[in-house]
Structure 1
């Protein structure tokens, strides 16, 4: 996949295309590239702008204040993870980022609550909770619609994914890559694949996201303003027996003249419900593509991977 090919990846409209046509184009982009770009998703631009502003306000708080909400007490699932904590699977250097996790709040007594701790919210910013709870719900809604298109592409019933993602352990991550010196090493977040089903990413003002093509080349991914970049995660790769490939990506430092600027992004990691068994779909298994992986629950798979990236201890 050359840069020219990447430039030709269509930015698909969720509003302007018939659902069947969108499903085919979206699925083909996933199968060919492991990612897609989508506009007209219906998310409120003001909600998104307010969320960017609030994320900046939070990360500008003193370190001692942010540390009050340390996510190490809940396996990294809710609250704040300090700069330099996370490491990509197989990497030797920790990532140059700090982040906050918002997850799903379940009713008291729900059997899934034991694997999904309640959210924590910063007392210093009272608008933080309602704003990001709203953004979470919007990502949840758009993610379910995108998965309905993937279901059609895989020749499943359109709403097939609704059950598997109901009360899923999805995470909204607010990310901050602080400024670095002009002479800093080139990588802000090491090469990795996402754990979840799909990731929905609102574009960052500062560039740096790169995708690895089938020939091993790293290519920049820059969605148009307001569009979402959506990539396949390892759970969807496993569910489709690698028909839809999970794509390696990383975040590199910008040119030296831009390294004094922070980079912010807001990925939404859309997850299955913890008790869902990830097993290859029958239509994705054939003589040419035999079953690759044994069945595993979404919870056990997530735990396995969180240990690998250092967010929980074995």
Structure 2
């Protein structure tokens, strides 16, 4: 799964791999006992190396981060800053639309011929991942697999079956939005295809083990907007952007940005993404420019 939040509040009790498995078996996840204090940064350059030893060493770093933390930063991942800037600009234009226009893209507003699942717009407070919460203070837009097509081609391509199947829906009055989003989506899919051989090596499997299992991506991309909250409100008076929760994907990639900043604000001051270690301590996942945050969940 690929996510592109402006700010993300989330936690994970770190579903990870157990110690060395017997090759050829999928692994049930377990909770790590690690009381880590920081999230590692992994350089992804060697994922494209022709040297098997370098790819193996990178896989070992990913394995260690997955077992001991459950999260890692990825630098030199290959998605250009120009691509990121384009999708961020398009995303800001989308969320600036009036609410009535965005609500027309809600799945419940669409007839079954356009979508059979949850793709489309999610309004503020519509989701509530923590039953004890009052609703998650974010709005979002979801898409799934769709080929990059000319703008005059059909607006969707249904390629998968099951919960992640169904067609994408797009705003009709936002030129360039679809193209920018799909361009980023396919770059992220390409990155995911580079990650899976490393996951296989980390499991002592052949690098091509997942090739025939990932031919029809069910990856979902979420573009999320977390509106700012007044700094004059104390912590207890603020609303959570997204409640404490776990996830279920093989992996998740985040790119975090700020939509609007005052001159004195900074991304680290705004914060957002947090992770929790086995001791129950919440740690800030501070912003590192030009990196992705990867959350390994389970295979």
What is the TM-score normalised by the length of structure 2? 0.71
- Give me the whole-angstrom Cα distance separating, in 1, the residues matched to 2:83 and 2:228: 26
- Give me the whole-angstrom Cα distance separating, in 2, the residues matched to 1:10 and 1:136: 25
The answer (yes or no) to whether the contact 2:125–2:138 under 8 Å persists in 1 is yes
- Give me the whole-angstrom Cα distance separating, in 1, the residues matched to 2:276 and 2:160: 39
Structure 1 position 194, deviation (Å): 1.8
1:14 is matched with 44
1:86 is matched with 127
Determine which of 96, 119, 124 is the counterpart of 2:168.
Answer: 119
Q: What is the aligned length? A: 232
2:248 is matched with 195
Is 1:105 matched up with 2:146? yes
> 1:91 and 1:19, CA in 2 relative to 1: closer, same or farther beyond 3 A?
farther
Determine which of 48, 64, 71 is the counterpart of 2:107.
Answer: 71
Structure 1 position 87, deviation (Å): 1.0
Structure 1 position 164, deviation (Å): 2.2
Supply the RMSD in Å over aligned alpha carbons: 2.3
Determine which of 56, 59, 74 is the counterpart of 2:95.
Answer: 59
SS at match of 2:225: strand
The answer (yes or no) to whether the contact 1:203–1:222 under 8 Å persists in 2 is no
Question: Structure 2 regions of 5+ residues with no counterpart?
Answer: 1-33, 48-53, 148-155, 259-266
> 1:50 and 1:115, CA in 2 relative to 1: closer, same or farther beyond 3 A?
closer
- Where do 1:80-229 residues align within 5 Å? 80-105=121-146, 112=161, 116-181=165-230, 182-183=232-233, 184-185=237-238, 187-205=240-258, 206=267, 207-229=271-293
2:152 is matched with none
Structure whose residues are more often strand by fraction = 1
Is 1:43 matched up with 2:79? yes
> 1:110 and 1:146, CA in 2 relative to 1: closer, same or farther beyond 3 A?
closer
Structure 1 position 195, deviation (Å): 2.4
Question: Structure 1 regions of 5+ residues with no counterpart?
Answer: 240-314
List per-residue Cα deviations over 1:268-314 (Å, max 9, x = no partner). Answer: xxxxxxxxxxxxxxxxxxxxxxxxxxxxxxxxxxxxxxxxxxxxxxx
SS at match of 2:104: helix
- Give me the whole-angstrom Cα distance separating, in 1, the residues matched to 2:249 and 2:284: 22
SS at match of 2:244: strand
Structure 1 position 105, deviation (Å): 2.7
Structure whose residues are more often helix by fraction = 1
SS at match of 1:145: helix
> 1:146 and 1:75, CA in 2 relative to 1: closer, same or farther beyond 3 A?
same
- Which stretch of the first structure deviates more once superposed, 74-83 or 32-41? 74-83
2:296 is matched with 232
Structure 1 position 188, deviation (Å): 1.6
List per-residue Cα deviations over 1:207-242 (Å, max 9, x = no partner). Answer: 210001110011000241011110123xx1xx4xxx
SS at match of 2:221: strand
> 1:22 and 1:199, CA in 2 relative to 1: closer, same or farther beyond 3 A?
same
**Which contiguous aligned blocks of 4+ residues in structure 1 show a shift greater than 6 angstroms?**
106-109
